[in-house]
């Protein structure tokens, strides 16, 4: 089983692993800032080029939700 795991990991390009790790880091940051899953997905799509979400993200969410309602 351990050999199969090593083969499977070796078959995944390093760039793909880095992208998934980076995206996971963005979601973790969003959850730490108090966002739920849907809000985290929206924020990560909007701020996809940034390393972390801005601290003002909750205010921006409220503004966007008020415009939609």
Q: How confident is the model at residue 68 (pLDDT cuts 50, 70, 90)?
A: very low
Q: What does the pLDDT look like over 1-10, one tens digit per residue?
A: 999 999 998 9
Helix, strand or coil, per DSSP, at residue 35: coil
Q: Which of 36, 24, 30 is nearest to 52 (CA)?
A: 30
User: How many structural domains are present in the chain?
Assistant: 1
| pLDDT given for residue 41 in this prediction | 86
Q: What does the pLDDT look like over 8-66, one tens digit per residue?
A: 989 999 999 998 998 888 888 888 888 888 888 888 887 766 566 777 776 777 666 65
Q: Report d(CA 19, CA 35) in Å as an integer.
A: 21
Domain coverage including residue 61: 1-66
Q: Report d(CA 5, CA 28) in Å as an integer.
A: 25
Tokens of 42: 């929206």
5-9 contacts at long range (C-beta below 8 A, 24 or more positions apart): none
């Amino acid at each position: 089983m351990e050999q199969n795991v090593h083969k499977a990991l070796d078959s995944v390009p390093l760039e793909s692993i880095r992208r998934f790790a980076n995206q996971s880091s963005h979601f973790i940051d969003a959850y730490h800032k108090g966002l739920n899953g849907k809000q985290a997905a929206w924020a990560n799509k909007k701020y996809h080029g940034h390393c972390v979400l801005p601290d003002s993200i909750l205010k921006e969410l409220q503004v966007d939700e008020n415009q939609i309602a």
